[in-house]
Structure 1
Amino acid sequence: MTQHRLGNFIHDKMESILQAWEDFARTIEPPALTMDDTELRDHARQMLTAFASDLATAQSERERSAKSKGLGKRGPDDTAAEIHAEARLLSGYTVVQLVSEYRALRSSVLTLWAADVGDAGTPNMGDVTRFNEAVDQALAESVARYEFMVKQSQNMFLAILGHDLRNPLGTVVTGSNFLMQAVDIPPRYVLVATRMFNSAKRMSKLINDLIDFTRTHLGPGIPIQVKLGNLVGVCEEVVDEMRTYHPERLIELHVPAKIEAIFDESRLAQVLSNLIGNAIQYGTPDEPVSVRLAGDGDDVVVTINNRGAPIAVDHIRTIFDPMVRIAANAGIADSGYMERTSLGIGLYISRQIVHSHGGTVGVESNAADGTTFTMTMPRLPAGFRS
């Protein structure tokens, strides 16, 4: 019997395959509102042509294995699968609907081929395997592009939202601060204004965190503006601020007389505020929070310790990852050191800021010693060294 080759069949029966695939695509909701019939077929035609060409190309076992995992070689240009994913996203398709199209395309080709072969010949089973590998590669490319576009859109939305909220929130802060200083209004109004001011400042911190988070995903990272300064002064200023916010807590500060370094004062203050705030939130109320600054050769080291329930071992590995604490809180009860009153990105942003200074930040936690965050940073960034 004559062997029927799948690649030849795809070329010969292209229109029949496209029609079967289009019939399925039209059953998916929402319909492809942004694509006409020609565009709807065009992506599938390009992918089918690529499949047929792939079937006619000799491949090693390693290359076939890589393709079955979605890791096949590719050129510099976008593939038809990636272009198709972008079009489907713009048309309102979910990733589940996108995947179902590939399932339908695979089924259409193999079903029509089996019917065409019938009793007249023998199908080449190697072609079936190669075809499935090619479809798997296209599916992996399509899903990866779809996910990338979704994340990019989400981050852009967050960046725009955070930026646009700054002005009206600034008005609330300014107005409430003005009322707080008034001497000709009843005390109860001053109390309300104070609460408004404190709430607006907390919202402002969340918005700033949100903007910093999107910067790390959309651009080169969190910007820093470094200059020579005294780290001791920054530590003292932040600790005094935290003492004012939390008069019920004891915050111990251990610093030398002076440590000069080149750094971004406002960004390092942001890191210290985040780390000390976490220590206060999760430390035992009747135990002090300890902040230590020391010089260690060419580096400066800041340690922040609190006593209390240690961080669970499985949380240590992901504590600096963004949004992990939100996901954990959604599924389980709070079981330790998790940010309950923030977006879950404060520690992530702190790490990014420290990394921007050429430093590192880590955490150790146990029942005997409590929880200690350690930030190590060079006094002189790499770009300033002679």
Structure 2
Amino acid sequence: MLEHGPIRLADFIEENMEPILQAWEDFARTIEPPALTMDDEALRDHARQMLHAFARDLKTPQTPLQQSEKSMGRGARGHRDTAAETHAEARLLSGYTVVQLVPEYRALRTSVLTSWSAVRAGGATDLPDVTRFNEAVDQALAESVARYEQMVKQSQNMFLAILGHDLRNPLGTVVTGSSFIMQAVDIPPKYILAANRIFNSSQRMNRLIADLIDFTRTHLGPGIPVKVRQANLARVCRTVVDELRTCHPEQMVAMTAPEHLDAIFDEGRIAQVLSNLVGNAIQYGTPGAPVTVSMVADDSNATIAVNNHGPVVPADRIPALFDPMVRMANDTPDTLVERTSLGLGLFIARQIVQAHGGHIDVVSNAQEGTTFTVTLPRQPGTFLAPRPGSGARPGEGAAMAPAGISPAD
């Protein structure tokens, strides 16, 4: 039985917990399909804890700033998971969607306020209690949705990592088989041509899978690992440029660099960065306009600049260029490269550069075109702070780089 007479909302919640939970449970059972297979304890799992938390919150004094933060779902919290966060995890594992999760909070809010209004019929409405209660529910809802989204992203990234890893073996068989056929001398040329196309397509697929695995590494671990050793950075740069010239014979790629430039870096990873940047410049540059690659260095740092002339990138869009699944705007018709790209190239390039302790800057204007500038320390351990406007977002950058660096075997 609900108690009658004047009563504060916090006391009402604690003294009438069971009727409130029953009203909420009746609603929860209408959510299909998961709720139909859940027992009473599972349906009520964390609602009781949340109601107790709401009651404690109503009894705790708060400042206007705390009230404002809580109304936007940014209330102060401890180090342990809240009941709302644990509730979100349980609901996700039970098969709930976020669309089914949110109405539970609306039902919990309605259950409390409707029951309280019934026992206070004819009495004055305590508006501050109602406001505080709504703020607490909003905070719990924000925590639940945030945890739900975090777990969904983690599951998606794990799926992508497993998928990318498992695709490598069958793809390796395709590459090996097509390579074997290409070397044959006792079959018609048309089969050699078909094998060559299979081989080239497999190589593109392999690059896509490598990008996918690198992307998931940045979300599931400390970042992209790099194994550094002393090597000639200029030689690596020239090798990448020569490979791209072969792949794009119609495109002029000019390069200026010293004959020898020693640095300590991961050759394969920096080659990947240069390939992504120069390939990006070719893809989005104006047809017929040259792409230029230049390298300079001082005693501490090496700088590589990749420039092309094409559509100007607005300043407010530059930071977004390094986000995953984002491509630069291009007014030209879609190309094969665009259709087979995941939009991860610049994101991965930045992650690799940051893992070396460096940063990437971008400048784009109508006079000089678009220039991506990579600055790398020549010695490990000399980590550079990202420059303003470099595309690094707050909290990102070289400070997290040392964890990914290890000496080469």
Q: What is the TM-score with the length of structure 1 in the denominator?
A: 0.92
Post-superposition shift, 1:76? 2.1
Q: 1:156 aligns with which of 150, 155, 158?
A: 158
- Could you tell me whether the CA contact under 8 Å between 1:95 and 1:146 is conserved in 2? yes
Moved more, 66-75 or 196-205: 66-75
Moved more, 311-320 or 156-165: 311-320
Post-superposition shift, 1:273? 0.5
Give the corresponding residue for 1:84.
87
C-alpha separation in 1, matches of 2:332 and 2:149:
29
Give the corresponding residue for 2:252.
250
Give the corresponding residue for 1:200.
202
- Could you tell me whether the CA contact under 8 Å between 1:4 and 1:122 is conserved in 2? no
Q: Which amino acid aligns with 1:165?
A: L
Aligned residues: 378
- Could you tell me whether the CA contact under 8 Å between 2:182 and 2:192 is conserved in 1? yes
Give the corresponding residue for 1:141.
143
- Could you tell me whether the CA contact under 8 Å between 1:275 and 1:304 is conserved in 2? yes
Deviations 1:138-157 (A, max 9, x none): 11111110111011111111
Post-superposition shift, 1:206? 0.6
C-alpha separation in 2, matches of 1:34 and 1:372:
58
SS at match of 2:364: strand
Q: Show structure 1 runs of 5+ residues with no match.
A: none
Q: 2:66 aligns with which of 46, 63, 68?
A: 63
Relative to 1, partners in 2 of residues 1:309 and 1:130: Cα closer, same or farther, differing over 3 Å?
A: closer
SS at match of 1:294: strand
C-alpha separation in 1, matches of 2:333 and 2:361:
22
Relative to 1, partners in 2 of residues 1:92 and 1:71: Cα closer, same or farther, differing over 3 Å?
A: same
- Could you tell me whether the CA contact under 8 Å between 1:85 and 1:142 is conserved in 2? yes
Give the corresponding residue for 2:388.
none
Q: Which amino acid aligns with 2:212?
A: L
Give the corresponding residue for 1:275.
277
Moved more, 40-49 or 153-162: 40-49
Give the corresponding residue for 1:362.
361
Q: 2:49 aligns with which of 46, 50, 55?
A: 46
Q: Which runs of 4+ in 1 moved over 6 A?
A: 332-335
- Could you tell me whether the CA contact under 8 Å between 2:29 and 2:36 is conserved in 1? no
Determine whether 1:14 maps to 2:17. yes
Post-superposition shift, 1:99? 1.2
Relative to 1, partners in 2 of residues 1:309 and 1:160: Cα closer, same or farther, differing over 3 Å?
A: same
Q: 1:104 aligns with which of 79, 98, 107?
A: 107
Give the corresponding residue for 1:371.
370
C-alpha separation in 1, matches of 2:60 and 2:290:
70
Post-superposition shift, 1:356? 0.7
C-alpha separation in 1, matches of 2:25 and 2:321:
47
Q: What percentage of aligned pairs have identical amino acids?
A: 67
Q: Which amino acid aligns with 1:287?
A: A
SS at match of 2:303: strand
Q: Which amino acid aligns with 2:356?
A: H
Give the corresponding residue for 1:184.
186
- Could you tell me whether the CA contact under 8 Å between 1:82 and 1:142 is conserved in 2? yes
Aligned-CA RMSD value: 2.3
Q: Which amino acid aligns with 2:161?
A: A
C-alpha separation in 1, matches of 2:71 and 2:94:
28
C-alpha separation in 2, matches of 1:196 and 1:334:
25
C-alpha separation in 1, matches of 2:115 and 2:212:
52
SS at match of 1:193: helix
C-alpha separation in 1, matches of 2:19 and 2:129:
19
SS at match of 1:93: coil
Deviations 1:169-220 (A, max 9, x none): 1111111111111111111111111110111100100100010011111100
C-alpha separation in 2, matches of 1:207 and 1:146:
27
Q: Show structure 2 runs of 5+ residues with no match.
A: 384-409
Relative to 1, partners in 2 of residues 1:79 and 1:313: Cα closer, same or farther, differing over 3 Å?
A: same
C-alpha separation in 2, matches of 1:352 and 1:46:
41
C-alpha separation in 1, matches of 2:346 and 2:56:
50
C-alpha separation in 2, matches of 1:34 and 1:334:
52
C-alpha separation in 2, matches of 1:33 and 1:183:
66
- Could you tell me whether the CA contact under 8 Å between 2:84 and 2:141 is conserved in 1? yes
Give the corresponding residue for 1:31.
34
C-alpha separation in 2, matches of 1:253 and 1:111:
74
Post-superposition shift, 1:333? 10
Q: Which amino acid aligns with 2:260?
A: K
Q: What is the TM-score with the length of structure 2 in the denominator?
A: 0.87
Q: Which amino acid aligns with 1:95?
A: V
Deviations 1:279-312 (A, max 9, x none): 1111223222111111134111111112222224
